A and B are shown apart, each in its own frame.
Chain A
Amino acid sequence: MPAVWLIEDTRGGPGTQEVRACGRALGGNCRVALLDEERLGPYAPGLYAEALRALIAQRDGEDPERSVVVLLPHTYQSAEYAPRLAVRLGAAYTASISGVSIDDRGGLRFRRSILQAKLRADVRPKTRTVVATVQVGAFGGADPAPAPADVFEVGRPADSEEDQEREILGREAASGGGVDLASAERIVTAGRGVGGPDEVSVAADLAAALNAELGASRPVVDNGWLPREHQVGSSGHVVTPDLYVALGVSGSIQHLMGMSGSRIIVAINKDREAPIFSVAHYGIVADLHDVAPALTRLLETRRSG
């Protein structure tokens, strides 16, 4: 059973539960390294990597026979500095894992999606210490897991040089208002499969008939077919509506992370192998340009009847 470090934050940000659940799946020999911005100062990648390295390295000699696993959530902050922590610890690194296992001889295996979630890979670390980020939403996601009792507060290291070369100028909202995906009960999302900017109306019409908000996948936003405030996915909004209808969305890992907590998921896509079908409760394998207008007509008839 490996010694497991769970990297947590006093603010209890996204991914905390998943990291704990992953620690439990690794045998539960866990301790927490607690990051406190008040103690450490504002986040900077070099600072956090160094502070964690110092704590983990200091305790490393306690049980040299045991392998060491350092788990962080795969979020915008921790996935930025986690590879740097791995380099400093001389550890292996793997990102956004969704499963773990230990074989008879104590060998660790991590499961992760590759090639835009079309395949999954089982990887093993070749070093005694491994740093891994845990996919938000994996390991049963929202099930509350108890915090381990063994908590170490992360101390402030001497300033790292590269963080003196980095200054925070401010924060801003990435997108304008007007679209409220977070509290929407129903969302219809346009994916790259809608085909182009003039064809987004097929999704907008269905959204109107369902009294739903209009969402967009990342490629749709990146191509300028819809403004960024419509984007669903870990880099946009995480949504959990009652009904989520994905039109021509293939289902990148980020997109699935952003919407897989929805109560009922409907996917309409021509490609039967699209990863979106792996989370859909109802899947229609067909051309969305045929099915979505048919749905819109039926819903309108149903409403007026």
Chain B
Amino acid sequence: MRIGVCIKQVPDTDSHLRIADSGRGIDDSNLNWVISSCDLCAVEEALLLAEAEVSRGAERPELVVFSLGPARVEEALRKALALGFDRALHLVDEALEGGDALSDGRALAAALARERCDLVLAGAQSDDLGQAATPAVIAEILGCPYAWLVMAVELDSRGKSLRIVRELEAGMNEILKLELPAVLAIQAGINRPRFASLRGTLQARKKPLRREDCSGLGVDPGLVGAAGAGIETEAVSLPPAGAGGVVIEGASAEAAAGELIANLEREAVL
């Protein structure tokens, strides 16, 4: 069995974000880049599934990590290798840049199909654009069953199907059986991602990391990246600071607390 995990490298959401001079994106010259948080949970879930297979005496599935993006993405892939993945595939080509969920999904689906993954995991939504769509697009193109917001995964003993739990509205969960191959979008909180060991980090340097461009993937450059995207960002802006609310700043804790209580009494909520 082969498990493929798609990860996205995103700006650390705690970094200070500055709008680029073009006004169409953020200034990426001075950012910390990390693996998007749900994707890191997908990485952890693949490691847990592999460990569960081994502990029941089955063959350990091969774990392959995929990511699309410029040269900096290699660091994210190396991190997954340090955590225990067997090999990495880096989708890197100028023609792949500037894509949306549709065009990135096309490129990733091509890579996943070539590698013949039995199970594909990805995060439920990215910390940057948060469209929550790339794994669905992959499932659509591969023609696989798909579930979003997955909170538990178990492989059946024959390795043919999955039992999964997904979140629904109003605090309910749905339990589903999916035949393999399948695509799962993993929700944050399904597990606690581990940290890489020093030994893992050293081993990761020697593990195979392959780069693929459009021709290697067999995708039409016109259907991926910015050319293949269905949407284009015209402008980014800061949300309005405060919705006309009262802001208490610079006061001592006691003074701030007193002022708040006086306001809440006036609003008749105390």
Spell out A's residues near B (CB within 8 Å): 13-14, 45-46, 49, 75-77, 79-84, 86-88, 91-96, 109-110, 113-127, 130, 161-163, 165-175, 186, 210, 218, 221-224, 228-229, 235-237, 242-243, 253, 263-266, 272-273, 275, 277-287, 290-291, 293-295, 297-299, 302
- Given A83-B101, A114-B128, A126-B231, are A283 and B236 also a contact pair (CB < 8 Å)? no
A295 touches B231 (CB 8 A): no
Alpha-carbon distance between A294 and B176 when the two chains are bound, in angstroms: 48
A115 touches B26 (CB 8 A): yes
29 CB contacts below 8 A, A to B, read: A79-B132, A80-B146, A86-B102, A87-B105, A92-B230, A93-B231, A119-B26, A119-B238, A119-B239, A120-B236, A121-B233, A125-B230, A125-B231, A126-B229, A161-B143, A165-B144, A165-B145, A166-B176, A167-B178, A168-B176, A169-B163, A171-B172, A173-B171, A174-B172, A186-B269, A237-B171, A264-B269, A283-B248, A293-B253
A235 touches B149 (CB 8 A): yes
Alpha-carbon distance between A84 and B11 when the two chains are bound, in angstroms: 27
Interface of A is mostly: mixed
Is B21 among interface residues, defined by CB-CB distance under 8 A?
Answer: no
B171 touches A80 (CB 8 A): no
B148 touches A174 (CB 8 A): no
Alpha-carbon distance between A162 and B176 when the two chains are bound, in angstroms: 13
- Given A94-B131, A283-B245, are A171 and B168 also a contact pair (CB < 8 Å)? yes
Alpha-carbon distance between A140 and B143 when the two chains are bound, in angstroms: 38
Number of A-B contacts (CB under 8 A): 269
Alpha-carbon distance between A45 and B148 when the two chains are bound, in angstroms: 10
Is B96 among interface residues, defined by CB-CB distance under 8 A?
Answer: no
A172 touches B163 (CB 8 A): no
For window 174-207 of B, CB contacts with A under 8 Å fall at 174-179, 182, 187-189, 192
Binary contact track B247-270/A, C-beta < 8 Å → 1, others 0: 111110110111011011001011
B174 touches A96 (CB 8 A): no
A281 touches B234 (CB 8 A): no
Query: In the assembled complex, which residues on chain B have CB atoms less than 8 Å from the CB atom of A49?
Result: 140
B178 touches A165 (CB 8 A): yes
Is B141 among interface residues, defined by CB-CB distance under 8 A?
Answer: yes
Question: CB within 8 A of B245: which of A242, A275, A281, A297?
Answer: A281
Alpha-carbon distance between A216 and B174 when the two chains are bound, in angstroms: 23
Nearest chain-B residue to A273 (Cβ)?
B241
Query: In the assembled complex, which residues on chain B have CB atoms less than 8 Å from the CB atom of A162?
Result: 139, 143-146
For window 111-165 of B, CB contacts with A under 8 Å fall at 127-133, 136-137, 139-141, 143-149, 151, 163, 165
B234 touches A109 (CB 8 A): yes
Q: How far is the CB of B188 from chain A (nearest CB, A)?
A: 6
Is B167 among interface residues, defined by CB-CB distance under 8 A?
Answer: yes
Is B71 among interface residues, defined by CB-CB distance under 8 A?
Answer: no
A84 touches B189 (CB 8 A): no
- Given A115-B127, A294-B256, are A282 and B101 also a contact pair (CB < 8 Å)? no
B148 touches A221 (CB 8 A): no
